[in-house]
Amino acid sequence: MSGSISELEALSRLIKYKIIRNSWYSGTPHLGSCLSCTDILVWIYWDLLKVNHLDPKDQTRDRFLLSKGHAAPALFQVLAKKGFFSEKDLEHYGKDGSIFGEHPPTPEHLPGVEAATGSLGHGLSIGLGIALSAKLLKMGYQVFVVVGDGECNEGAVWEAAMMAASNQVENLTVVVDYNKWQATGRSNEVFQLASLREKWASFGWLTSEVDGNCIGDLKKAWSEIDSEQKPKVLIANTIKGAGIPFMEDDNNWHYRIPTYDEVLSCADILSITKEEIAITEIMRQGRK
Amino acid sequence: MRNGFASEITNLAITDETLVLLSGDIGNRLFDGLKSECPTQVINCGIAEQNMMSVAAGMALSGLKPVVYTIAPFATTRCLEQIKIDLGYQHLPVVIIGTGSGLSYAKLGPTHHSLEDFAILRSIPGIQIMAPWDVKSIRTCLDIALNSKGPTYIRIGKKGEPDLTNDQIVPEIGCGLKITSGCRIAVIAVGCIAPVALDAAGMLAEKNLFVDVVLYHTVKPLRKSWAKDNLLSYDKIFTVEEHSKIGGFGDAVRDLLDECNFEGKFAKIGADDEFIWKVGSQNYARKLAGISADKIFQAVHSLQN
């Protein structure tokens, strides 16, 4: 299941390209938010998570919840690449009647999705309920939740943090996608988030701080804490729009949709194959 | 009623190890029996209702049967979005118990009253809303809720509610129980306000005005076939609820009667559209809100003329 770091990096670049192309094709926003956590998703899905696309409801599977549901375009590309549904299905993205929108639908509507997130501050609590269930059902699965830094404005995140610590829920791991932005401004200015790591530590969690856009760094940090019997949080320092210099740390890309020429620039930046670019050209012809 | 719930949930937990009670830092001694019988099946979720409701969703997604227990306003409006999205949209079998509902906690003021829970929750697709009137009817409601595929909100009282079911069988979801029958007028009461409706019926009988009292434990969904067979023959129907007149049981029954082409007169008795800031007993608060036996008496009596 696990690939080398360079293989995972190449996979992450390809998925980033597909997210960008999809944003252009379907007019779906939140590109910056998707790109900041794509490396994290690739690392979790290809290096950690035990899931089986042929049996998506397998009781023993590990669970992943994208609590920052507005990064669903990234999750959909990951799930398609994992085989939960066809990549072809994603061509209907955002069209009338499609299941693929700006947020994950319910698990009943789309295999591979664990919870219908999108309203911020729910996913960690749901993940906590799933992690607690493992204890009651005497199962050994792990639960991973990606939370946004802006999402940490929500009080329910901290309700869950306290309850997880008091129950010593050691099979629960949070990755905070700390890209330093939320919709309207810097996340440290809208709300006093700093020092985020110390906040989680004071809530009783085992903490680690990493470069969240470096898969090697994520792997290394995880190997140092994965056996600890406490709820764990990785404060993943990320860049909104990571991987595309003209998008990086520019909050306009929270809502902006790329042009076709910008998609082609991204293909160049991400070293995308000619075959994949040819598909983009076909999509453009079909879109006219 | 609380004690009846606690003993029933203990019995159910003993036979079903997937049943888990989540409480919002209340019911400390109430659940002592459950804690000693099934210690891993009780979790105190603290004073954090939003998290508690989503934790319950996570448990239901994992195959457990969570029952969430706290004071009615905190089990509903405090965490409304978690109920709407995590339980409603995902259609998960979570049972929410709102205790001390209506004006049970009259002395604690409007923070602890729940006179809007029916109205607000009714508009969430797929949720069942129930309000038993005594311990026997709680058992039926719990049984219905725990065998459902989606969420159920059950609003219960506090303590001292009289047994009204006696030897009768508590009806299925959406149907009523006729305590008396044969009259031209029906007073339909939902949940713990039932004894007040019966008091009003007694007062009316003294004036030679006889009414049937019908008890309901369901606000949603109401069963059309039962209403057609049992309610259409009345000349007049009155609903009584310990809830705002706006959007609650009365409106649900009126919608039902409209669908059945009921041709008689209809009126609803419920709380006026005001916060009850004056402190007092539950009966005092009910009078202030306009849901006393006197009010029912007056409503029925005035519609005679």
| Domains observed in chain A | 5-287 (3.40.50.970)
Q: CA B104 → CA B67, B127, B187, distances in Å?
A: 21, 24, 22
CATH 2.40.30.10 assigned to domain B176-302? The reply is no
Q: Which two tokens stand for residue A146?
A: 């990606």
Domain boundaries, chain B: 2-155, 176-302
pLDDT reported for residue A35:
98
Helix A72-81 with A31-43: angle, nearest 10 deg: 40
Query: Do A159 and B50 lie within an 8 Å CB cutoff?
Result: yes
Rounded average pLDDT over A91-97: 86
Q: Given pLDDT bands bounded at 50, 70 and 90, which one contains residue A271?
A: very high
Closest by CA to A118, choosing from A161, A162, A67, is A67
pLDDT reported for residue A93:
86
Radius of gyration of chain B (CA): 19
Chain A residue with Cα closest to B62: A130
What distance in Å separates residue A4's CA from the closest CA in chain B?
32
Q: Does B67 touch chain A (CB under 8 A)?
A: no
pLDDT reported for residue A91:
81
pLDDT reported for residue A2:
62
Rounded Cα gap, residues B134 and B115, in angstroms: 19
pLDDT in tens, B153-163: 999 998 889 99
Rounded Cα gap, residues A288 and A286, in angstroms: 6
Query: Do A122 and B91 lie within an 8 Å CB cutoff?
Result: no
pLDDT reported for residue B305:
57
Alpha carbon of residue B59 to chain centroid: 25
Query: Do B63 and A59 lie within an 8 Å CB cutoff?
Result: yes
Q: Given pLDDT bands bounded at 50, 70 and 90, which one contains residue A92?
A: confident
pLDDT in tens, A144-194: 999 999 999 999 999 999 999 999 999 999 999 999 999 899 999 999 998
Which CATH homologous superfamily contains domain B2-155?
Answer: Thiamin diphosphate (ThDP)-binding fold, Pyr/PP domains (3.40.50.970)
Q: Residue type for A50, please?
A: K
Portion of chain B with pLDDT greater than 90, in percent: 97
**Average per-residue pLDDT for chain A:** 96
- Residues in A whose CB is inside 8 Å of some CB of B read 59, 106-108, 114-116, 118-119, 121-122, 125-137, 155-156, 159-160, 162-163, 166-167
pLDDT reported for residue A287:
79
ipTM, 2 dp: 0.94
Q: Tell me which DSSP letter residue A88 carries.
A: G
* Count of Cβ atoms closer than 10 Å to residue B76 Cβ: 24
* Per-run averaged pLDDT (10 residues), chain B, 305 residues: 94 97 94 96 97 98 98 98 98 98 96 98 98 97 98 94 94 97 97 98 97 98 98 98 98 98 97 96 97 97 80
**Pairing verdict, β B212-216 and B176-178:** antiparallel
Asked if the domains B2-155 and B176-302 are classified in one and the same CATH topology, the answer is yes
